[in-house]
Amino acid sequence: MAPSVLLLLGLLSSTGSLPPPRTSFLLNSADRPLVLFSLPDVHNTTTLLLSDDGSTLYVGARDAILSLDVSQSDIIHLKKKVEWSPSESEINECQLKGKNAEVDCPNFVRVLQPINSTHLYACGSYAYTPHDAYIDAESFSMVQQDEAKGRCPFSPFQRNTAITVDGELFTATTTDLRGTKPQISRHFSKDGRPDVSQDSSLSLLHEPVFVSSSLDSSDRKLYFFFSEVGKEFSFVDELRIARVAQVCKDDVGGRSTLQKKWTSFAKAPLLCQSHRQLPFNVLQDVFTLQPPEGTDASETLFYAAFTSQWSSGPESAVCVFKLQDVRAAFTESYRTFNLLTHQWSPQLGKHSYLGKCGLDNASDSELAEVKRSFLTSNSVKPVGVGPLAVSSGQQYSRVAAMRTQAADGKQYTVLFLLTESGFLHKVVLLNRGAHIIEEIQVFTQPQLVKNIILSPSKGVLYVGTSEGVTAVPVARCSIYRSCSQCVLARDPLCGWSRTSRVCTGLDSHENMVQDLEDGNVEEECLIQTRVSLDTEVGVHLNEAVRLQCQKPSNLATLTWTSPRFRNLPEKLFILSADGSLSFLATADTFGIYRCEAVEGGYKEEVASYAVRQIASPRSMSPNPIAGENHVANNMLWFWLWYFMF
Ligand SMILES: *[C@@H]1O[C@H](CO)[C@@H](O)[C@H](O)[C@H]1NC(C)=O
Ligand SMILES: *[C@@H]1O[C@H](CO)[C@@H](O)[C@H](O)[C@H]1NC(C)=O
Ligand SMILES: *[C@@H]1O[C@H](CO)[C@@H](O)[C@H](O)[C@H]1NC(C)=O
């Protein structure tokens, strides 16, 4: 693959790019209100965990762990808070390590997981000396805290991932001060099993950045997602590769070889690449979407946001991988690492035990093979072979996904993609491609550390940043004020109610107007006859006129028409970028003006004006045109006026 990668270096283009978001909402927009939780003494609220019932949001912050009541949709309030900060002397020691007291040495909580039915487990960077703690979820008090190497990073800026399964904790993190020693391990092992970690006689990982983890409960395996330097391409410097690694949940290590080390560790490349283009090789985030009820676990989907090492500007892609294909990669062939040449070669002969669980009693020779054959020959390819969506212009850094049933009874997937610049893109995956329904600004300052978590039961997405926690309702259908806008939005969560004649959520059982695939307004919104009256605009002769017209969506194009002209002559009319039409009121220009929006082949009148002359002489007017009646002169005034406003 690599030589062709290099050949393709010159061929980067942006085919199949996402269209722009249909509608945009800036931070604190009244149309798309968000709920922000922040307190003056609470910072870096970036580690998020939802209770099973979706009514409590636990937050790992700087020097604190919070429990937030999110049971109401319009307010978030603090239920309890546990302070958890290093002592002054511990901060001094941190400074002696060359770290900044304010930036690096507080305790940034980086793991927050339920450990059993009554307690939460937390791990924090704690003045560059990771500590962990147990929180009684009921009383929300800390019952115990201790130093804990290898469960979360020393640096608050390094990424890590952790997942608990039946009271056992699986972590992927760096384990040293410099942040160069990665480790995937199991802690608090049950049933008398030892804690297990990676074999360190060989480098199994190279500068990995861990982004996410997932449990395959039916196969009793865990998957870790990350990107790292791909050493199999020894002729390319620092080529990064996106990966998925597996370990078996119940692995106990070998008897003499690989004692207390994974016998099931293996890794596979994840490929996200458009046809004849460079791959998107840097993994940013992965979201696990469980299959619909009654479907086999192998249908589990992993939605992954990627960027590229080679991009000159912001660019990203979303690929989706199926559990079935991940499993297949680990049961097919492997490569073997040659300890003498430091090269990878295809594994010779059939070694059916590679990548399998239950090698506890495997022979030393088998485990010796396991030790050096941990890279699969095949990459995991995405569903549909290429990316679901490619964005030239946006750097997607976090992803969440939900499945929803639309008015036609079909299931649709909605993605939430957080951009580095602070916008949340809500994307529906249609047969014809991805469509960005809306973008919502959720923060303005760049955030080095941030996370999102989706609450499908509450219909809310939470964004945790250094400034606070923001709740974003997954939809606000009332922003679409007409049947046509409701249909053109193509939001599977919104439909036009024929009875109440509003755009609303789909929870009612009535038959709603919605056409996700075609957005066919004419057919769907027949009953909608727009009876709009022209807005009267009274002006004096030679007065400057500016008629407003607001684009109903970013995808619409506006045109102005008037029955007096076949085309509005450029020398009389100015069309502005904001859609407004400006001209000077003269005998030639009094009359009717209509502004129409065209979107997806559907034409809709947005505004219409009747511009008429006011007969009576003007009273006081600050307009510089007043008193002038020489048209040429007035034209000059008009241009001056136009460029001033
Ligand atoms: C949960 O874990 C905590 C901390 O180890 C322990 O004190 C508590 O007894 C456990 N609770 C249950 C129900 O096992
Ligand atoms: C491995 O051997 C031990 C003792 O010989 C036995 O108890 C255990 O069940 C064996 N494990 C497997 C996976 O076969
Ligand atoms: C913590 O928050 C501050 C802003 O309050 C930010 O500058 C800093 O980067 C954050 N640190 C981490 C580790 O998130």
What pLDDT is attached to residue 350?
72
**Which pair of structure tokens corresponds to residue 533?**
């009256």
Beta pairing partners, 60:
47, 65
Question: For residue 508, what are the domain limits?
Answer: 478-524
572 located within any domain: yes
Best residue among 256, 360, 363 to mutate for probing ligand 2, ranked by most atoms within 8 Å of CB: 360
Domain final position from 128, 157, 186? 157
250 located within any domain: no
Do residues 17 and 391 make contact, with C-beta atoms less than 8 angstroms apart? yes
Q: For 67-99, b where at least 16 C-beta lie within 10 A, e where not — what string?
A: bbebeeeeebeeebbbebbbeeebbebbeeeeb
Q: Residue 639's Cα: distance from chain center in Å?
A: 46
What pLDDT is attached to residue 9?
36
285 located within any domain: no
Same domain, 562 and 629: yes
Spacing, Cα 636 to ligand 1 middle (Å): 82
64 located within any domain: yes
- pTM of the predicted model, to two decimals? 0.90
Do residues 285 and 272 make contact, with C-beta atoms less than 8 angstroms apart? no
Nearest atom in ligand 2 to the alpha carbon of residue 359 is: 13
3-state helix/strand/coil string of 256-299: CCCECECCCCEEEEECCCCCCCCCCCEEEEEEEECCCCCCCHHH
Torsion of CA 164, 167, 173, 175, to 10 degrees: 170
Same domain, 560 and 622: yes
Q: Give residue 108's identity as a one-letter amino acid code.
A: F
Same domain, 555 and 610: yes
What are the distances in angstroms from CA 609 to CA 541, 559, 590? Answer: 17, 14, 10
Same domain, 514 and 544: no
Domain final position from 490, 524, 558? 524
Q: For 409-436, b where at least 16 C-beta lie within 10 A, e where not — what string?
A: eeebbbbbbbbbebbbbbbbbbeeebbb
311 located within any domain: no
Torsion of CA 477, 480, 486, 492, to 10 degrees: -30
How many structural domains compose the chain?
3
What pLDDT is attached to residue 583?
95
Spacing, Cα 60 to ligand 1 middle (Å): 20
Same domain, 542 and 518: no
pLDDT along the chain (645 residues), means of 10: 36 62 96 96 97 96 98 95 97 97 97 96 98 96 92 97 97 96 97 95 94 96 97 80 98 95 97 92 98 94 96 93 97 90 81 91 93 95 94 95 94 97 97 95 96 95 97 97 94 93 84 89 68 85 93 93 90 91 93 93 91 70 40 54 56
Residues with CB under 6 A from ligand 3: 43-44, 46, 108, 156-157, 448-449, 466
Same domain, 588 and 632: yes
421 located within any domain: no
What pLDDT is attached to residue 447?
96
Nearest CA among 399, 465, 418, 448 for reference residue 156: 448
637 located within any domain: yes
Nearest CA to ligand 2 atom 6: 361
| CATH code for position 544 | 2.60.40.10
Same domain, 43 and 137: yes
| CATH code for position 510 | 3.30.1680.10
Spacing, Cα 362 to ligand 2 middle (Å): 10
What are the distances in angstroms from CA 149 to CA 118, 132, 222, 347, 573? Answer: 24, 9, 21, 35, 71
